[in-house]
Chain A
Amino acid sequence: MERLPILSLITFSPLVGAVILFLWGNASARAVRWIALVASGVSFALSLAMLLRFDPGRAGMQFTESFEWLPELGIAYRLGVDGISAPLVGLTTLLTLIAVIASWDPIRHRVREYYITLLLLATGMLGVFVSLDLFLFYVFWEIVLIPMALIIGIWGSANRVYAAVKFFLYTLAGSLLMLVGIVALYQEYFQQTGIRTLDVLELAQGTYSSTFQFWTFLAFFLAFAIKVPMWPFHTWLPDAHVEAPTAGSVILAGVLLKMGGYGFLRFNLPLFPEATQRWAPAIVVLSVIAILYGALMALVQRDFKKLVAYSSVSHMGFVTLGIFALNQQGLSGAMVVMLSHGFVTSALFLLVGVLYERAHTRELAAFGGLARNMPIFAAFFGFFALASLGLPGLSGFVGEFLTLLGGFRSYRWAGVLGTVVVILAAWYMLRVYQRVALVRAPGEPPDPDDPELRMAITQGVPPVAGGGDTDQHTPDPRTFPDVTWREALTLAPLALLTLWIGVYPLPVLDMIELSVRAILAAVTGESM
C-alpha cells in the first residue's frame, strides 16, 4: 500500500527549516523566526494527524517505514511508533513549537544560528523516538547532544560554558557505554543466529545468556540513567537548567529527560528481560531515593530555576519507579508522568523565564506579592504549581498515583516511602508560590487592613518585609507588567493539556495500554 511516510515527514520537517535557514545567510531575524515557526508548526500538525490516526487497538508498530541502508551490516532505515513512542512524538513537536515561540523575544543575538540549532535538535529528538534500528537510534541520540550543548553554551547565562561542558561530558560518557552495549548485542545476535541486524524488534526476539544480559543491560542502563537523570547521576541537571535559556530548559526538561525513560521501555526491558528482573530492586531503590532526595533539595533552593530542576529529579524518580515496578499500573503511570512532567515542568520553566525577562534574576528573595500586578502570571503559576504537587484533577496526579500504586504492588516499602513526597511536594511548591506570588514585594509595607500593621502600631512589632534579603540590586517586582499575549500563548496550551490529562486521561491510557502490556509480557515471559 502506498502511504505517506508520515514519520519521516514529522522528523525531518524541522531539518528542512534548518537547512533553509543555513542556506539563507542574510535572512532578517523576523524571517528566521517565521521560518522556524512554520517548520516546527508543520511537524506539530503532522504529528497531530499521526496521533489522530493512531490505532490504540493494535499493540505493534504503526506507520512503519523501512529502507535498506547498509544491508551487509544489517543496518536499515526503520521507523515506526507504538503506544510508547507516539505520545512522546506529540510531546516533542508541541514543545518544539512552544520553544520557538518562547524564544521569539528573549533570543536577540545570533538568531539565525539559534534557530538552526533548535530545529536540528528537534529532528534529533524526534529521530530518537521513531527509530527502530539501533544504529539509526544511536545517530539521532548523539545528534541531540551537540545542539543542546550549544544552546546552553552559547545562549545561556553567566556560567554557561561550565554547564554545557558538564552536560556534554556526562551524557557522552553514558552514550559511549551504550555504544559498547549496542556493538556487543549486535555481535551476540550474530553469534547466535548468523544474522547481522540492528533491528530492535528482531533483536528483542533473541535469547541471551544471564551474564550477557546482566552487563549489557548495565551499559544501556547507565546511558539512560544519566539522561533521566537518576540519582546519583543527576548533578549535571541543575547546572544545565540554571544556565540554559528558557527554551533550552523547556526542551531539556520536557523532552530530553524523557529519552532516558523511553530508552528503558524500548531497549532495557524487552531486550534484557532476565536482567531487568535482576536489576529492578536496585533501580527501585535509586528511584525512591531520587523521589525523596529531589524533593528535599527543592525545599532548600534559593534559585527559582534550581528549585524546578530538583523537582524534576523527584518527578523523574516516579518514572523509573513505575517502569521497574514491572506491572501495568507502574508502566502506564510512568508514561503519564513523562507526559505530565513534559507539560508541567516545561510550563514552570516558561514561568521562570517570564520573571527572568523582567527581573534579570532568579533569586527567590527578589520577588514577592506578584499576584497583585501580575494576576495572569499568578494564576498560571498557581495552576502549574498545583499540578506539580500532584493535585487530583490535574495531570500529575494520574501518573503519580499509578506509579505509586504500581510501586506499592511490587515493593510495598517503595510505595510507602515514595508517597511521602506528597507532603514534601506540597511544602516546597506552596512555599515557592507564597514567596513569589503572595504576600508583598520585598520592603513593601503591609496594607492598612493587615493585622500585621496593627501589631506594628499597637505592640511595636516591626512588620516582616516581603521576600527576603538579597545582595543584588534588583528591579522592584511591583513594576513588572503581566504576561504578554505571546507568553500566554506558550502557557495556555500546556495548561489545557494538563487539565485534560487530569480529568480525562483515558484516550492516552488506552493508547499506551497494549504496548505496555506487550513489554510486560516480554519481561515476565507470559504470553499476552
Chain B
Amino acid sequence: MTLQFVFHYPETNGSDGDLLDSGALDDVARAAETAGFDALALTEHPIPGARWLHTGGHQSLDPFVALAFAAAATSRLRLLTHLALAPYRNPFLLAKAAATVDKLSGGRMILGLGAGYQKSEFHALGVPLDDRGALFDEVLDCLPLHWKGEPFTYQGRNFDARDVMARPKPVQDPIPIWIGGNSKAARRRAVERAQGWMPMIGPPELARTTQTPTLANFDDVAVAIREMQDEAEAFGRTEPLDFLSSYSDSTLTDPTVDVERHRTRLGELEAAGLTWVIVTHPRCEPAVLLDWLAAFGSEYIGR
C-alpha cells in the first residue's frame, strides 16, 4: 500500500478575504484529481466564535454540501470531511448527509469525525459541550444502522428512533469513518468503531487549543499507530485501519526546492505506518494553486 494524498482546500483565516479566493472549488477539485491526489478535504465550523474567527480562525463551507459539489466535478477523488463535528448534528441528519454525498459521488465519501472543542459554537448550536463524548458515541451507534437501509429501532440517551428506515443506501458498506483527535477515547473509537484515525501532531499549545493530548512529532505517532494496531488485533479486527496525518513544512509551497528531503520524509511517514497524508497550501491566486497542485503531484505523488 503506497501513501495516499489528501489535499485540503487552502484556508482563509480571519474575516477578511473570501473562502474561495484560491479558486473555484470545482476547478481546484479537478486540478487535485488530475495532479494525482487521492482525496479532497474540507473542514467544518458552522457558527464559530467571532473572536476566534477574527483572530486567525478559518472560514468554512458546509462540508457535505461543498463535497457533493466537488464530487460532481471529479470522478476518482475521495471526499473527506476533515473534520466534521460529530456532536453538532442529529446523528440521523449526519448519516443522511454522508450517505447522500456517498450516493451522488458513486462511493467516494470518507467521514472524518471529531468531538469538537469550541465552547461558543456548541452553545450556539444548542449542544452541551459536556455531553460531547456521549453524543459522539451515540452518533457512532446510529450511523451504521441508518446506512444499512433496513428497518431498525434505536433507543439511545438522546435519540429515540422507532421502526425507521433510510433509503437509498450509501454505495459503500460502510462509508469509512475516520476519527480525529489524540485522546484515549478517540483512539478507542477508531480501533473499535471506525475505519481510520487522524492524529493531530503539533506543539503543546496546539493540543491545548484543540483540547487533545500532545503528539509532538511523527515518532510519537508511530508509537501510537503500533499500539492501535495491536489493540485492533486484540479486539478482533481483520480489516486494517487507515492512519492520516498532516504534513507541512515551510518549503513545501515551492516544489522546486528541497524535493529530496521531502521525499525522504514522506517515505519515513509511510514507514511509521501512516497510510494517508494531508497537505495544503496557503491562500493564493487560483492560477498559483493550479500550478502548485500539478507540481506537487508530479514531484511527490505516485513515486
Q: Specify whether A and B are partners.
A: no
